Structure 1
Amino acid sequence: MRPSPAEIVRTLVAGRLPGLVHVAHRPGPHHARHVTDPDGRVLLLVGVVSDLAAALRPVRGGSDVPAVLDVLDLPPAAGAPSLGRAWVSGWAAPLHGDEARAAALDFAAVEPTGDLLDVGTRFRLFRFEVVEARWERAGSVRRIDPGAYAEAEPDPLHAAEGGLLAHLADQHADRMVGYLRRQLGLADGGPDAAPRVVRLDRYGMLVAYGRPGARRRARLTFPRPLTEPADLTRLLRPALVPRAGAPPARWLGRDPSTTPGVKRGPFLTP
């Protein structure tokens, strides 16, 4: 298994990456602090005295304005491929009273900032339901069904991905290289550069290997989707900290798209 396009878009716009807001017929774009609530609706935390607040001010008696949130993935390590770019759009409206207080709790669950205490004075929350979603990758743009987007869940490893990769590289490099060589069928000490994990998600890991200048990528799948970063530690422990006399652990399954004679899948390939 691998993340669906809807899951990737939900992950990108969840609030862990910087976002830009484009408002129809207004100057921009505008940098914005944003998250998505459990239903996938976009929440914007906006200073009351800001260009974005002015752009989101309705005109001609309206109550909301068309807006687009634009988020570009930031790869967690050098040489790691990007997940691409996501755009989600809808009609942004300011929240007041109980709605604003409930939205502030949703915002804090993702990004606990003290500025939420000033919602209603120095800051205001805007919200829009996603009516259109698009995912761009490798020069191709794909439309995502809004219903599929709403039903998808952000990847639980994405926020911790950089730290997890750094930990594997810094603390378990030798054992991890040996384990990946066994999984990929690479000879120990062969001419290929040491394989390394370059991306992680709830379904598996992407590994880069091969000679310098001819690097290749293969995907290894987990036996079940992970629900939190700690799941990765529990799954990797048998491979990285083997018991005395225990055989090598093989809890990872190789993705069929990485086996000889089978076309590789499109996920995270150049």
Structure 2
Amino acid sequence: MLLVPGLAGARPEQLVADERSVGPDGDLFLTYPADSPAVRAATHAQDDEVPAVLELTDVAPVSVPHRIRGRAWVSGWLTLVPGRAGPGRMTLRLEVGEAYVDDLWGAQAVDPEDFALAAPDPLVRHEPELLQHLAAVHGEQMGLLRGLVEREDVARATPLALDRFGLRVRFGRGDGHTFDARFDFPEPVTDITGLRRAMHRLFEAAAG
């Protein structure tokens, strides 16, 4: 959701971009209907930059207690980018000034230069379907991971997050409480083939 000063009356769904991408210099490009409140605010500002904050919420793609995995806030300045979007649409450029992440891995500020240089995780586009597949088809293997955590009364194991470095699992106890455990791969994976090998090794370790 894009938060812009003066748009307090806008409905939340009007502030969610139809498309979102990151440019080579780290700028965010957000596409909206041409008559959206965010576009009108940038248009009325004419040559002035409009301060704005893009708030992102990461929700786990599997059914699990406490599904929000993290939030991020990117603040900066909005400008119009004419001609980039199709008819009836307009793209806004958000020049990144500050960024902050609060997620399962911790909370910290992100330097704009580091953000611009960062590369997407190779599994990011596949993560939702991979987690859903693990939860739906590999429940038995997921259950074996309970043996790798030193906790009692562990009733269930649900895959929560997956990246090139490892798998995070949310374990549920019989009393309704949950806790997370992360299983790091021996080395970062670069593709699905490498992931398949890493998961096989993890499940073999759990079975042994």
Q: CA deviation at 1:151?
A: 2.2
Larger Rg: 1
Q: Distance in 1 between matches of 2:181 and 2:65?
A: 14
1:126 to 92, 96, 102: 92
Q: Which residue of 2 aligns with 1:177?
A: 143
- Give the drift of 1:172: 2.1
Work out which of the residue numbers 167, 170, 193 in structure 2 matches 1:205. Answer: 167
Query: 1:88 aligned to 2:74?
Result: yes
Match of 1:64 in 2: 49
Aligned residue in 1 for 2:4:
23
Using the aligned pairs only, state the percent identity.
Answer: 33
Give secondary structure in 2 for the equivalent of 1:131: strand
TM-score, structure 1 as length reference:
0.61
TM superposition shift of 1:88: 0.8
Greater relative contact order, per chain length (Cα 8 Å cut-off, separation 6+): 1
1:79 to 35, 53, 65: 65
Instruction: Give the CA deviation at 1:159.
Output: 3.6
- What is the CA RMSD across the aligned residues, in angstroms? 3.0
1:210 shift after superposition:
5.6
CA offset digits 1:149-193 (Å, max 9, x no partner): 222233333343232122112222223323x2454368xxx8532
Deviation of 1:221 (Å)? 0.2
Deviates more, 1:26-35 or 1:123-132: 26-35
2:159 equivalent to 1:227: no
Aligned length: 198
CA distance in 1, matches of 2:153, 2:56: 39
Q: Distance in 1 between matches of 2:47 and 2:138?
A: 57
C-alpha distance in structure 2 between counterparts of 1:76 and 1:198, whole Å: 8
Gaps of 5+ in 1: 1-19, 101-115, 241-247, 251-270
2:155 corresponds to 1:193 = yes
Kindly indicate whether the alpha-carbon contact (under 8 Å) linking 2:7 and 2:37 is maintained by their aligned counterparts in 1: no
For 1:96-175, list aligned pairs within 5 A. 96=82, 100=84, 116=85, 118=86, 121-136=87-102, 142-175=108-141
Report the alpha carbon displacement of residue 130 of structure 1 after superposing the two structures with TM.
Answer: 0.7
1:237/1:220 Cα in 2 relative to 1: closer, same or farther (>3 Å)? closer
